[in-house]
Structure 1
Amino acid sequence: MIQEIKPAPRHFLDQGFTVKEWSQIEPYFQQLLVRNLDSVEALKQWFKDRSELESVLSEDMAWRYIRMTCDTTDDKIREAFEFFVSEIEPKIAPLANELNKKALESPHLGALRKEIGYDIMIRSMEKDFKNFREKNIPIQTEIQKESQRFGAISGAMSVTIAGKEFTLQQAAVLLQETDRAKREKVYRQIADRRLQDKDTLNELYTKLIQLRHQVAVNADYENFRDYMFSAMGRFDYSPTDCFDFHISVEVEVVPFLHEFAQRRKETLGVDALRPWDKAVDPEGKQPLKPFDGGKDLTSKTIECFNRLDPFLGDCLKTMEKMGHLDLESRKGKAPGGYNYPLAETGVPFIFMNATSTVRDMVTILHEGGHAVHSFLTRDMELNDFKNTPSEVAELASMSMELLSMDHWDVYFSNPEELKRAKKEHLEQIIETLPWVAAIDKFQHWIYENPEHGLHERLFIWNEIHDAFSDEVTDWSGLEEQKKHVWQKQLHLFEVPFYYIEYGMAQLGAIAVWKNFKEDPKKGLEGYMNALKLGYTRSIPEVYAAANIKFDFSREYIKELMDFVKQELDALN
């Protein structure tokens, strides 16, 4: 069993070093800058020492972010985060660029390029050096500060229902209630609360678009989309591939939404299917409740993972023991959920806003997949080898949602409830792909047209939303809410262009699950083998290690959707 894990002994930094002031940090960068790299071995050790320094700084920044999202109301915590963003990171950036330059000029780099993992790392280093502009440092600092405002604005949103205050996540659970009038009232309260901040969020987004476009222009790119494709290291696909994905989803997946919505409308027996009718059980059954509170969710998830493979259960046990789980929704907590890797310790932190829903259960399974990925790569030689691209990271998390399904009886002892939960999740997967395509297509348009006005933005969003939504749901009287529904997607504000990965990885996860259904032992081994590679291979090679394809053509999407539909039919 995994016990409490401590960071490996430091060899370059002092063992007791903690981040307080820049004056403590700079000497380590200077040592690396002046070191003589007179052999392949010296260059390799230099990379290891640099990795140690970057891991320590990364973990310190991680904890500042984690504490801030756990409590958005604490000014001291926010100030600690902002200190790192404004006083530490801007000073690291030019020195990191100098270190890249030093490494790239080394005559011994060619020999290292032939070693597994180093070729991928050097490729990324070359693109970082190409994109670096010193004049972008203050702009990127401002972007980071501004983007965090989204969490504070969203975290402060709440509604009062029957005299009790709810976060919007908690209130959303009530949309599963069988009383339609109550659902409508709750839906309108949530939507109206979001609309109270629509102007603030529109202004924030406009400012972020302008700042990001300036970064791109400064780095000699035509637009921020093209800059981000390079900055994110998207070596294995292009914007054109994304457009192909959009078309494939619209043609092959959206028709399922029409079918689901029509069936829901008929089962509910309503004249018009309204947005508040989408979460309730169509047969009038009470909402599923897979757990009762954070502790129950934790223990059940550990058991679920343990059944799949004892190593997986031990990963979550270790995180629980180390206090690396914050699962329940509460006022003042930032929205959303994440698994934050801790680069030096190697034991990540899971943050989420659980209430009591199936969606919350899936979220812990999803973030748990990310966590397992961290454990499987924690002993890799360099931190860069662990920093997988999102297309691989999300494969880890989304596959875990499906691989764990055989053990969901941990959450549902009633066979009928278990069947309902599985059905809900598989339908959710199909429904997620169009939303991913919509958000991604919206971002492409936003940054291809950075000078657009607000009216044009909302008009384009409406067009995109309609193309990737069912034709059955009636939005009459809710036009303003529909125009702004994109504002709930934190990725648009905080991590631009990090979204299509969910779609690509979802396809990969379905393929992993398909393999697992055919041969559980071989399917799980393929999944684990792929994750163990970290980022020492290209994305297509990592997918191939899991015995799946990195492919989002119409034909492949149709094949995978047919498989999911087959599994859904088996549950009916």
Structure 2
Amino acid sequence: MKFKEYPYEHLDEKFVESEYQNVEKALKEAKSYDAFYKAFQDLDALNRKVETMSNLSSVRHTIQTNDAYYTQENDYFNELIPHVQNYRDSITKTIWNSPYFEELKKHVPPVYFLKKEFGMKAFDPSIIEELQQENKLASEYQALVASADIEFDGKHYSLEGLQVKMQDEDRETRKRATKAYWQWFEEHEQELGAIYDKMVKLRTQMAKKLGFDNYIPLGYLRMERLDYDQNDVANYRKQVLEDVVPFDNMLYEKQRQRLGYDQLQAWDEKIEFLDGNPTPKYDREEMVKRALKMYRELDPETGKFFEFMVEHDLLDLDSYPGKAAGGYCTFMPDFESPFIFANFNGTSHDAEVLTHEAGHAFQSYSSKENFPFECVWTTMESAEIHSMSMEFFTYPWMKSFFEDDVNKYYYSHLGGTLKFLPYGVLVDHFQYEVYAHPEMSHEERMATWRRLEKQYLPHKNYEEIPFLERGGWWMRQLHIFMDPFYYIDYTLAQVCALQFWTRMQKEDPKAFEDYKKICKLGGKLPFRQIVETANLKVPFEEGCLKDTVKEVEKWYENFDESTL
């Protein structure tokens, strides 16, 4: 069955409420553990159904944001999900108070109960209205960004589509494209700032209702930071400043010299080579064919997985008007199907979608039979290990996408992973400041971003783009609006992925086997234990970042730049 044939069922609120009430009644009235466990299995089946329809609706909405039916369904789920959360929270308390609770713990992974504990602390029926408003604001932000229609050189572009011009070989073209891109954000600054201000105040209000001083501890609970805290993250940010920023400054200086510019401007940052960045040499259809060949050759399990994705049309990769921005992978439990959503734009990003998002998809495909379904997906920072590591494990096949540009790809991609770390930490630090001081005005938030940006990204030069000099870059970062505190995850995972890359350099035959092992585990363990199971170092450990940077530095020292 193809994705377009997946049947969608509108879930009536009364029906959903009744189903959850029936499950809770069965759990309460169970006269034996077998009866209790049967009710628990029924709960899992119901959760899978709700998750499947919610995700199917969301995918079809983001594929075409102007589709009236799925826009309506998306809005409906924004209202319904907080109620579902309430039903689930009530059932969790029933399970906790059951005489069969201890027996259940013998048959369900411990992390399931840890997640539920976090969930109970992060929810109360008194915040349902705020959760509904938060969902509406997230959809409002997404719709506003998706509506961007920028005229450039006589053609119309979405924000995603314009980025190919922002990486044009011609410096003047990318300068004009960069200015046009940020002009859209400046023209919508007040709207975007107002949406974010409402979000910050709403989230702070939720936190205070739940007994927290501000949103930060609630944000950590909602992100399921199961085995690390704010102190670990603060120490990690410090290590990034000490060990990564100086190395990145060296990379940016080498880039400036290679390009032959007096200064590296905002429109030059993404350009590594004067004759242009490496780009895939094929269209989307051919790239998918080559990706299929790549995954078949990488491993029998990845081959079987990608065949499933292609056969069921579970990749929507083209960029077109009305399609939401960004890229993601989601999972529909009842169809045991991952789904990859992206916006191809003719840059190296296109190849990375077929590795990064495919890493997420492979993980959920590998762990799709985990029970209960909450243990299919890992927590966010662990999930990014699978995606970012797949980018490295597929290195040997990148020539089939980039051809003669493959060495340029290796050079820029590896450097890009290190350049990303300070930016990812900046996004996290900015949110920490915002939610610690929710009373900030829009102007103060802009100034806070720019102040932190100068620490983590001191190379930034915003001549001729005053909007960025005032601190406007953060407005393009979807996660800041829609998924607060979901960004440090990428950097933690990147450090883990770089450790897999190091093992590949040393031709460690167990590296990919360890990778497959944690993909199958899915969400059965918290972050630190997953990292240790993969035989990697936890990024918070003193010296981990220093050692990681040292390995990358060694690669650059030995790289023959005449091959670029």
What TM-score, normalized by structure 1, do the two folds share? 0.93
CA deviations on 1:440-466 (whole Å, 9 max, x unpaired) are 000101111111112211111111111
Map of 1:185 onto structure 2 = 176
1:330-479 map, 5 Å: 330-414=320-404, 417-471=405-459, 473-479=460-466
Map of 1:94 onto structure 2 = 86
| Displacement of 1:320 | 1.9
Find 2:52's aligned residue among 46, 59, 68.
Answer: 59
Q: Does 1:294 align with 2:281?
A: no
CA distance in 2, matches of 1:304, 1:199: 46
Distance 1:162 1:217, change over 3 A: same
Opposite residue 83 of structure 1, the aligned amino acid is: Y
**CA RMSD, 1 decimal:** 2.1
Answer with 451-460 or 435-444: which moved more.
451-460
| Displacement of 1:405 | 0.6
CA deviations on 1:385-437 (whole Å, 9 max, x unpaired) are 213101211111011011111121221332xx111001110011011101100
Distance 1:287 1:5, change over 3 A: closer
CA distance in 1, matches of 2:144, 2:3: 36
Q: Which runs of 4+ in 1 moved over 6 A?
A: 3-7
CA distance in 2, matches of 1:58, 1:65: 10
Map of 2:551 onto structure 1 = 563
Corresponding residue SS for 1:233:
coil
Distance 1:49 1:17, change over 3 A: farther
Indicate conservation of the 8 Å contact 2:163/2:345, yes or no: no
Map of 2:263 onto structure 1 = 272
Answer with 479-488 or 211-220: which moved more.
479-488
CA deviations on 1:249-294 (whole Å, 9 max, x unpaired) are 1111111222122222222222222111122243x22442214332
Answer with 359-368 or 438-447: which moved more.
359-368
1:127-276 map, 5 Å: 127-276=118-267
| Displacement of 1:57 | 0.5
| Displacement of 1:76 | 2.5
Map of 2:10 onto structure 1 = 19
Corresponding residue SS for 1:354:
coil
Indicate conservation of the 8 Å contact 1:178/1:281, yes or no: no
Map of 1:107 onto structure 2 = 99
CA distance in 2, matches of 1:49, 1:294: 41
CA distance in 2, matches of 1:328, 1:291: 16
CA distance in 2, matches of 1:506, 1:172: 24
| Displacement of 1:479 | 3.0
CA distance in 1, matches of 2:199, 2:232: 26
Q: Does 1:319 align with 2:312?
A: no
Map of 2:525 onto structure 1 = 537
Gaps in structure 2 of 5+ consecutive residues: none
CA distance in 2, matches of 1:188, 1:222: 40
Map of 1:80 onto structure 2 = 73
What TM-score, normalized by structure 2, do the two folds share? 0.94
| Displacement of 1:198 | 1.1
Opposite residue 38 of structure 1, the aligned amino acid is: K
Corresponding residue SS for 2:317:
strand
Corresponding residue SS for 1:344:
helix
CA deviations on 1:307-346 (whole Å, 9 max, x unpaired) are 2113213212212221211101112111110001112222
Corresponding residue SS for 1:349:
strand
CA distance in 1, matches of 2:431, 2:504: 34
Map of 1:513 onto structure 2 = 501
Q: Does 1:496 align with 2:484?
A: yes
Indicate conservation of the 8 Å contact 1:139/1:211, yes or no: yes
Answer with 529-538 or 488-497: which moved more.
529-538
**Percentage of pairs with the same residue:** 24
| Displacement of 1:96 | 1.5
Indicate conservation of the 8 Å contact 2:281/2:403, yes or no: no
Distance 1:457 1:17, change over 3 A: closer
